Copies of this chain bind each other. A is one copy, B any other.
């Protein structure tokens, strides 16, 4: 009888690689990963806790990360994970594969697409909310950048700093949110002006 060996698939599975990438520099628990991939820090991917715990289990099963139990008396025990050599090799393989273009998929844009046919008030409000959210995230990410830079200037860090990867993805996150904020504010202003012009007209 042949043994059934579960082979690691060679398809995309970007979440798997996102988790691996996060575990290259830091040893993290599922819970910490979940916070990073939830609202906020990990600007290169987004996922829910359930996905991350499941992915960690698969990664450990496949030998791409290794976990160690940490006993805590003040909090529930936890397991900290790091990428193994096999994990790093898998990431290297992944880095050489083709990537599909990234597309926008956003509720708010759908609503704006329909702006000529729906109530302007709610839309303007939501655009303002989103802009505020973007501002908050920009500040959060700005703080992260400062922390990564330490004492260095940005130019110096970009030339000689270690761990440039997370810095670059963070920069993209900030630029994305700035674009978001600017577009939201501008669109809200335009819709507002058209609304009042129409009301007067």
Contacts and interface: CB of A to CB of B under 8 A. Distances in A.
Number of copies: 2
A75 interface: no
Interface of A is mostly: helix
A152 interface: no
A109 B159 contact: no
Contacts of A164: 115-116, 190-191, 194
What is the interface residue range for chain A against chain B? 35 or more
Pick from A12, A108, A109, A180 the residue with the most CB of B within 10 Å: A109
Contact of A175 (B106, B111, B183): B183
Contacts of A96: 119, 122
Nearest to A125: B96
A195 B22 CA distance: 22
Contacts of A119: 92, 95-96
A18 interface: yes
